[in-house]
Structure 1
Amino acid sequence: MMKVLLTGATGFVGTYVQRTLSTLPMVDQEGMAIDLLDSPKVESFIKDSDFDAVIHLAALSSVAQSFQDPRLTWEVNLWGTFNLLQALKKKKFNGAFLYVSSSEVYGKVSEDQLGVKENFSLKPISPYGASKAAAEHLCFQWGETNGFSVVMVRPFNHTGPGQEDRFVLSSFAKQLAKIFLGNQEPCLKVGNIEVARDFLDVRDVVKAYQLILERAALPDFRSQVFNVCSGHAISLKEILQAQISCMNIPVEIKQDPQLVRPVEVLKIYGDSSRLKKLIPWKPQYSIFDTFSQMVDFWKEELS
């Protein structure tokens, strides 16, 4: 039986990964309740743990937060990953290592280069994106020189019920729920909602992780990177307007300058054809349905 070490297990995506893995009798989960920046504790934990595969989710994953605290973003996302890899090397680990990167590594992409393929040059424009790109290179090098079966994934924007409200769609969903319940004036505070993103439901994303992990030791996966995406872009404005129309409530949308990022990718979507050739995966959830479920989630939380 495969036994999986999952970092970031208590985070938004981590909780969904645990639910997905728990349905598989071959998988047992290990939670990692330690600071990845504490190298001695990481090494002690890894040394004393028994596992065959690693999913490395733990990261500071907010683009906005990365501008507010770039140093911490780099420390956690790069040096935290280094400490984990170093501990695995000392353990003589030779199993599968799935590194969860981000589409933010691509940065700005011109219209004629969409949807982005994995061989597109990396030009991140946020501390978060830059730190994830650096960690990708670290993971690749470590896999080539230390015997790991490393696979890297670049998920595009993914969301779902339970996501923290510091992320854009969850913030919108929470505000709409408060307006519906009469706890907020019918005014929605937003940043730039003209931007268009390749959105996925978190449940589709973690299903892809599961299918990749099961095949990570195969030659077609080892030392490879895969986009996990829908293949098309939808603007925040479209998602908001559709939900407001369904709720049939009057809402004013007002831009808050504090919510506008200093630099912004206006439109991006990816190409997941490399992944789809190798695993039986395609998105099952509509982002409009997902967003509606997120509003319902916040209604329950706030009631």
Structure 2
Amino acid sequence: MILVTGGAGFIGANFILDWLGNPSAEGIVNLDKLTYAGNLATLDSLKNDSRHIFVHGDIGDKELIAKLLKEHQPRAIINFAAESHVDRSIHGPAEFMQTNIVGTFNLLECACKYWNSLEGDIKETFRFHHVSTDEVYGSLSASDPAFTEANSYEPNSPYSASKAASDHLVRAWFHTYHFPVVTTNCSNNYGPYHFPEKLIPLVILNALSSKPLPIYGDGQQIRDWLYVGDHCSAIREVLAKGKLGETYNIGGWNEKTNLDVVKTICRILDELKPRADGKSYKEQITFVKDRPGHDRRYAIDAGKVERELGWRPAETFDTGIRKTVQWYLDNPVWIEGVVSGSYRDWLQKQYN
């Protein structure tokens, strides 16, 4: 058994579906607070799978964490639980501090106490895998080399600052208490089941709804895009073979400007779901005021995880984005369940 936190969110749910897609895989205890971005409908296919045990709760609840650890005796914990949207962190940073910093601290304390109670092989093989972001490294200029694991932390938003703090806590628990941890810092994920406040799902859904496709500033912000299925496979490799105390950067080797991403989506939709008037979806592109402190470029050098663990992404951006657009076209029921009144209020507030 393994314990997954944040397993009803975008990356966590994709990981659980991927993990339990193997008939011989061990079971998962899935702890999720079910905030706006947590969606159990993503895991509908596991309703009758006894290997998936869902628990509604918060990583900040020490009593609950201790109870789950004692009851299920997991051999690993994978911590996906986090508030993760930069724009929301600008409008309301308090929740990010509580979940990403205090929540991670509480989880570490409980997990370390549980680990110390173990003996023999189960103690020797136990792992705490902390999932983080490339945003902790700050921003790059156009000519800077991509982020490596040796880059200094220079977070520029409340979100990235809170994740940087959580990374430091995980590192401290390893060096101070010899707690067996590994950390992964990933680039921008995309793929199925993505909550539609992030760029790619937002653009797909707005395009299909004949709404503006909002792009911050000049649209020349650069991100490295990682297909979520590739991220899941990387986590499996790091969990199984990663060196204790180490950090591994997980990226897709796909640097794209936001404007290029949006135009690519429009081109695929023009092919797969043409507009009734025959025009391109690019006609709906609208430039909006840039967000405060918007980092110009992120780029991940994922060479370490390839050299040491043999992992490399299977998808290019072209193959991954086509799969993603097709998934949204094929799953209107899931989309309808996600696009609630509160989400529409958020879009109005953010993009005016």
TM-score, length-scaled by structure 2: 0.77
Q: Which of 208, 215, 223 is residue 190 of structure 1 equivalent to?
A: 215
The residue that corresponds to 2:65 in the other structure is: 42
Say whether the 8 Å CA contact 1:152–1:226 is kept in structure 2.
Answer: yes
Shift of 1:50: 1.2
The residue that corresponds to 1:143 in the other structure is: 174
Q: Distance in 2 between matches of 1:265 and 1:58?
A: 23
Q: Distance in 2 between matches of 1:128 and 1:152?
A: 17
The residue that corresponds to 1:223 in the other structure is: 245
- Over residues 21-78 of structure 1, what are the superposed CA-to-partner deviations in whole Å (9 max), with x where a residue is unaligned? 2217253211123112222222222232211111110100111111111111011001
Amino acid at match of 1:154: N
**Secondary structure in structure 2 of the residue aligned to 1:278:** helix
Q: Distance in 2 between matches of 1:226 and 1:132?
A: 15
Say whether the 8 Å CA contact 2:254–2:317 is kept in structure 1.
Answer: no
Residue 321 (structure 2) pairs with residue 291 (structure 1)? yes
Q: Which of 263, 266, 275 is residue 296 of structure 2 equivalent to?
A: 266
Shift of 1:196: 1.1
Q: Distance in 2 between matches of 1:197 and 1:153?
A: 17
Say whether the 8 Å CA contact 1:177–1:296 is kept in structure 2.
Answer: no
Residue 13 (structure 2) pairs with residue 15 (structure 1)? yes
Output aligned runs, 1:128-139, within 5 Å.
128-139=159-170
Runs of 4+ aligned residues of structure 1 deviating over 6 Å after TM superposition are none
Q: Distance in 2 between matches of 1:277 and 1:227?
A: 12
Output aligned runs, 1:95-244, within 5 Å.
95-178=126-209, 184-185=210-211, 187-192=212-217, 193-216=219-242, 221-244=243-266
Range that drifts further, 161-170 or 33-42: 33-42
Say whether the 8 Å CA contact 1:115–1:231 is kept in structure 2.
Answer: no
**Secondary structure in structure 1 of the residue aligned to 2:24:** coil
Say whether the 8 Å CA contact 1:174–1:295 is kept in structure 2.
Answer: no
Shift of 1:102: 0.5
Say whether the 8 Å CA contact 2:82–2:99 is kept in structure 1.
Answer: yes
Aligned length: 289
- Over residues 217-247 of structure 1, what are the superposed CA-to-partner deviations in whole Å (9 max), with x where a residue is unaligned? xxxx110101001234111211222232343
Residue 100 (structure 2) pairs with residue 77 (structure 1)? yes
Cα pair distance change 1:99/1:116, threshold 3 Å: same
Q: Structure 1: 5+ residue runs without aligned partners?
A: 179-183
Q: Distance in 1 between matches of 2:9 and 2:57?
A: 13
The residue that corresponds to 2:29 in the other structure is: 30
Cα pair distance change 1:24/1:229, threshold 3 Å: farther
Say whether the 8 Å CA contact 1:115–1:232 is kept in structure 2.
Answer: no
Range that drifts further, 61-70 or 104-113: 104-113
Q: Structure 2: 5+ residue runs without aligned partners?
A: 32-55, 117-122, 271-278, 334-352
Amino acid at match of 1:300: D
Residue 87 (structure 2) pairs with residue 56 (structure 1)? no
Residue 120 (structure 2) pairs with residue 89 (structure 1)? no
Say whether the 8 Å CA contact 1:231–1:271 is kept in structure 2.
Answer: yes
Residue 255 (structure 2) pairs with residue 256 (structure 1)? no
Say whether the 8 Å CA contact 1:243–1:288 is kept in structure 2.
Answer: no
- Over residues 107-127 of structure 1, what are the superposed CA-to-partner deviations in whole Å (9 max), with x where a residue is unaligned? 122344321111111100011
**Secondary structure in structure 2 of the residue aligned to 1:199:** strand
Q: Distance in 2 between matches of 1:92 and 1:117?
A: 30
The residue that corresponds to 2:3 in the other structure is: 5
Shift of 1:150: 0.6
Shift of 1:256: 2.7
The residue that corresponds to 1:181 in the other structure is: none
Range that drifts further, 50-59 or 279-288: 279-288
Cα pair distance change 1:92/1:84, threshold 3 Å: same
